[in-house]
């Protein structure tokens, strides 16, 4: 018969001391002497006085604190063992086997109603021995529990709506290799993930990492949820562990887009010691909380009185037409984002139901509140603090009573909802944002509306309002005609007049069908605004349907990214995007099916690139990297170059006189595509190694064969530069898992110029230099082992401690 010697109910003195120490560290429960989380000698948890220690966190702020606090992993010792003793491979072993584990004594039992005891908290019954600070916290926990309770009672529960994603797959030491293998296959083409984690609070100790929930999102209606049970992993030497590792390798890679509600690093850093993944491989994590905050604020501008109060009305309302087209690029400068007129600020007087948060931080919105405000549904957070390490999969238990089974099923539901809910928000934000930009702005009055309905082409998913304006319609031949899809930032607006008032237009000629979507401010990836982020937009029904129809895709994007982001980072985004597109649209697999136009010149500087020289260098570097990427990823470069002298007065858009050059270049590509029979021939031309002569042929074949001698000169110059660089190249072997950032840090420390360094390929890092002297210097100073595993550990360690 277990007792509770340390924290017996009859020891108020203990209560007090533990209270003072347990805040804000949540204490989930009193320690158990019995080893099993399902000890049959439980008292009713709600009646235990110590449950006053609950601290319930709804906002991500406290969640972040929790996860930061749990960086020490009490449960995973240096030998990699875990509480539950994975080394014990007998599945029929009684769950009592880990009786002796010391941390186990502090662990809690799964609870169905952990809030119950908090609901009665009132100032009148506050324990008198508490300090003021403790009282406040004591009451605060009660208020939060009551708020949750009230929300649940009065609001329909969150459900993943009509979508059934099936049962989650639990990954732990008893998951069969067959299931692991089929999971690997099932997600091999998926590159979009929503991740959440659960940790278990331990009294006076860092919390224990318990679960990683990963929703592998094929599309809005198709996904697989994986639950990795961290404390029940197989031993590192087993084949099962290798499979789980392989799964994680695929998920946490540079080809993935990983989303979390809150900061990914905060969420996952307590889990890195599991050795399941390497966070440095994750290049573009998306903080959905930030997305949502921006989304909400843009749609809920401060009310008039509030704006007046802030005296933020400046006379900037009369922008000229050109700027109006691209004003988004301006607003999007990341460093300046905080100055956004829609941002939260402390003295905001807007109603709370309209703008609930008043301080300027994107980490304010709790997931629960975001769901309530967006879908009017309630995400029950009562189970936040729970015995998450207990093993949620039935296979981890010898026997479960009906009661415990119910608890565990609720916990699984909670864990799964914690990824399904943000995903639902994500697709909602995406759809709404995309609607806003893909919908025709009502510039045309009804009288001017062009005829369309019967002649327009059906779009796969009917829930968009794109107004198609086909110029020549030939329905019978449309099926045979190749469809070209041009996806562009505002530069593409010069391709068709219609694009000045709408984002998409379609046209059919005798040779081809063309869809052009031009979105002002479009970037490869935008971490703040999904509707300007191509890697997200391709998942919207509209863009996705265009991609499905496309025989070939032309991408005229870059300027908005390259003005704000280093070329080496932008190029990774391009790589990520192409991977995403090809996974979902396999007809775009071949080299000639995707053409990317190098970034045009741009003289509109930013905080990140404050001089035209630095900006131009970044663009040039990007264009060179694009050539290397072309070779590895097998796409085409449609070499239309726009120089500084061809820019309009705003120094970012292309001067009217050069519009024809862009148009001619793109349509020339279409014509060549049609005239040249696909794969064999084209590949033999394009896949040739890059020697100078080939390049000449290539650029003359690809670009414009026109009078644009300036353009040709530029092309030749760029190619020369690139080959020049290749001549002064040194290489170093590099082990996997190096991030580009870390590589740069190392090169910096040796004072080696990394400007022309592409990301490593097949275990080799190629460093390119403008002069032989630079190359020699680098060769002398850079050890052969500079990028081996030892150094990786060394630098990763340094990074994380700096």
Binding site for Zn ion (CB under 5 A): 302, 306, 348, 350
| Sheet containing strand 504-508, strands side by side | 504-508, 513-518, 483-488, 552-556, 594-596, 636-637
Q: How far is the CB of 558 from Zn ion (least distance, A)?
A: 36
Residue whose CB is less far from Zn ion, 348 or 743: 348
Residue whose CB is less far from Zn ion, 276 or 350: 350
**Does residue 719 sit in helix, strand or coil?**
helix
Evaluate whether 521 touches 337 at the Cβ level (below 8 Å). Answer: no
Residue ranges in 214-311 assigned as alpha helix (H): 239-251, 264-268, 288-299, 304-310
Residue 223 φ/ψ, nearest 5 degrees: -160, 160
Instruction: For residue 648, give the nearest of 320, 347, 374, 376 by alpha carbon.
Output: 320
Instruction: For residue 374, give the nearest of 356, 387, 394, 350 by alpha carbon.
Output: 356
Evaluate whether 385 touches 167 at the Cβ level (below 8 Å). Answer: no
Residue whose CB is less far from Zn ion, 37 or 356: 356
Residue whose CB is less far from Zn ion, 338 or 471: 338
Angle subtended by helix axes 367-375 and 402-438, to nearest 10: 60
Residue whose CB is less far from Zn ion, 352 or 656: 352
Residue whose CB is less far from Zn ion, 34 or 362: 362
Evaluate whether 293 touches 365 at the Cβ level (below 8 Å). Answer: yes
Q: How far is the CB of 312 from Zn ion (least distance, A)?
A: 10
Q: How far is the CB of 317 from Zn ion (least distance, A)?
A: 19
Q: How far is the CB of 314 from Zn ion (least distance, A)?
A: 17
Residue whose CB is less far from Zn ion, 181 or 341: 341
Q: How far is the CB of 531 from Zn ion (least distance, A)?
A: 23
Q: How far is the CB of 337 from Zn ion (least distance, A)?
A: 18
User: What b/e sequence results for 182-220 when a residue is b if at least 16 CB atoms lie within 10 Å of its CB, and e otherwise?
Assistant: ebeeebeebbbbbbbbbbbbbbeebbbbbbbbbbbbbeb
Instruction: For residue 169, give the nearest of 228, 107, 245, 85 by alpha carbon.
Output: 228
Residue whose CB is less far from Zn ion, 135 or 342: 342
Q: How far is the CB of 350 from Zn ion (least distance, A)?
A: 3
Residue whose CB is less far from Zn ion, 78 or 314: 314
Residue whose CB is less far from Zn ion, 347 or 463: 347
Q: How far is the CB of 45 from Zn ion (least distance, A)?
A: 43
CB neighbour list of residue 311: distance below 8 Å, 6 or more residues apart: none
- Residues 562 and 568: their CA atoms lie apart, in Å, by 10
Residue 207 φ/ψ, nearest 5 degrees: -75, 160
Residue whose CB is less far from Zn ion, 52 or 348: 348
- Residues 684 and 687: their CA atoms lie apart, in Å, by 6
| Residues paired with residue 554 on neighbouring β-strands, in sequence order | 486, 595
- Residues 158 and 414: their CA atoms lie apart, in Å, by 10
Instruction: For residue 478, give the nearest of 505, 452, 456, 460 by alpha carbon.
Output: 456
Q: How many CA atoms lie within 13 A of 389 on its CB side?
A: 29
Q: How far is the CB of 356 from Zn ion (least distance, A)?
A: 11
Neighbours of 155 (CB within 10 A): 16
Q: How far is the CB of 341 from Zn ion (least distance, A)?
A: 10
Q: How far is the CB of 151 from Zn ion (least distance, A)?
A: 24
């Amino acid at each position: 018969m277990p007792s509770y010697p340390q924290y017996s109910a009859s020891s108020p003195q203990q209560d007090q001391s533990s209270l003072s120490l347990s805040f804000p560290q949540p204490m989930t429960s009193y320690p158990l002497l019995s080893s099993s989380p399902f000890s049959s000698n439980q008292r009713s948890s709600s009646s235990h006085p110590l449950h006053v220690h609950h601290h319930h966190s709804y906002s991500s702020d406290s969640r972040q604190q929790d996860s930061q606090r749990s960086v020490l992993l009490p449960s995973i010792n240096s030998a990699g063992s875990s509480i539950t003793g994975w080394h014990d491979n007998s599945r029929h072993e009684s769950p009592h086997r880990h009786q002796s584990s010391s941390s186990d004594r502090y662990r809690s039992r799964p609870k169905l109603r952990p809030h119950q005891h908090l609901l009665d908290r009132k100032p009148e019954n506050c324990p008198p021995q508490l300090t003021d600070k403790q009282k406040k916290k004591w009451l605060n926990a009660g208020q939060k529990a009551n708020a949750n309770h009230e929300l649940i009672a009065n609001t329909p529960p969150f459900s993943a709506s009509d979508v059934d994603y099936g049962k989650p797959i639990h990954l732990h030491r008893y998951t069969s290799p067959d299931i692991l293998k089929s999971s690997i296959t099932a997600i091999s083409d998926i590159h979009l993930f929503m991740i959440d984690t659960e940790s278990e609070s331990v009294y006076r100790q860092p919390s224990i990492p318990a679960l990683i929930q990963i929703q592998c999102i094929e599309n809005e209606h198709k996904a697989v949820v994986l639950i990795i049970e961290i404390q029940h992993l197989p031993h590192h030497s087993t084949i099962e562990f290798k499979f789980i590792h392989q799964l994680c390798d695929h998920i946490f890679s540079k080809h993935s887009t990983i989303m979390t509600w809150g900061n990914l690093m905060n969420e996952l850093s307590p889990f890195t010691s599991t050795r399941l993944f390497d966070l440095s491989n994750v290049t573009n994590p998306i903080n959905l909380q930030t997305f949502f905050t921006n989304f909400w604020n843009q749609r809920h501008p401060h009310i008039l009185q509030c704006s007046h109060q802030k005296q933020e009305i400046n006379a900037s309302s009369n922008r000229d037409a050109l700027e109006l087209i691209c004003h988004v690029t301006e607003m999007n400068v990341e460093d300046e984002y905080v100055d956004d007129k829609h941002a939260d600020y402390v003295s905001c007087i807007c109603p709370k139901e309209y703008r609930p948060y008043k301080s300027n931080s994107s980490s304010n919105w709790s997931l629960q509140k975001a769901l309530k405000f967006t879908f009017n549904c309630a995400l029950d957070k009562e189970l936040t603090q729970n015995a998450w390490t207990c093993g949620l999969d039935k296979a981890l238990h010898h026997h479960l009573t009906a009661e415990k089974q119910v608890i565990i099923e609720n916990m699984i539901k909670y864990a799964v909802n914690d990824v399904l809910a943000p995903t639902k928000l994500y697709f909602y934000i995406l759809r709404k944002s995309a609607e806003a930009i893909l919908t025709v702005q009502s510039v045309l009055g009804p009288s001017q509306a062009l005829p369309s309905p019967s002649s327009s082409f059906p779009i796969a998913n009917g829930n968009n309002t794109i107004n198609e304006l086909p110029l020549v319609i030939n329905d019978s031949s449309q099926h045979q005609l190749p469809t070209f899809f041009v996806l562009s930032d505002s530069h593409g607006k010069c391709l068709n007049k219609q694009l000045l008032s709408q984002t998409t237009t379609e046209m059919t000629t005798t040779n081809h069908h063309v869809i052009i979507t031009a979105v002002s401010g479009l970037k490869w990836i935008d971490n703040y605004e999904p509707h300007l982020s191509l890697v997200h937009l391709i998942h919207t029904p509209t863009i996705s349907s265009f991609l499905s129809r496309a025989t070939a895709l032309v991408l005229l994007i870059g300027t908005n990214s390259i003005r704000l982001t280093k070329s080496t980072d932008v190029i990774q985004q391009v790589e990520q995007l192409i991977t995403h597109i090809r996974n979902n649209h396999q007809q775009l697999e071949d080299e000639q099916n995707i053409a990317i136009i190098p970034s045009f010149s741009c003289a509109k500087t930013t905080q990140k690139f404050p001089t035209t020289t630095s900006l131009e260098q970044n663009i040039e570097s990007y264009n060179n990297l694009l050539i290397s990427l072309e070779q590895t990823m097998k796409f085409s470069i449609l070499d239309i170059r726009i120089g500084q002298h061809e820019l309009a007065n705003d120094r970012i858009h292309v001067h009217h006189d050069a519009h024809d050059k862009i148009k001619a270049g793109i349509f020339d590509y279409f014509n060549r595509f049609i005239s040249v029979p696909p794969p064999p021939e084209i590949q033999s031309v394009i896949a040739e190694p890059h020697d100078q002569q080939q390049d000449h042929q290539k650029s003359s074949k690809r670009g414009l064969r026109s009078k644009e001698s300036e353009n040709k000169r530029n092309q030749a110059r760029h190619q020369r530069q690139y080959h020049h660089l290749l001549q002064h190249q040194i290489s170093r072997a590099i082990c996997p898992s190096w991030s580009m950032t870390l590589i740069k840090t190392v090169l910096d420390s040796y004072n080696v110029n990394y400007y022309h360094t592409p990301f490593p390929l097949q275990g080799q890092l190629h460093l390119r230099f403008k002069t032989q002297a630079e190359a020699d210097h680098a060769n002398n100073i850079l050890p052969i082992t500079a990028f081996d595993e030892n150094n990786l550990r060394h630098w990763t360690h340094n990074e994380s401690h700096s």
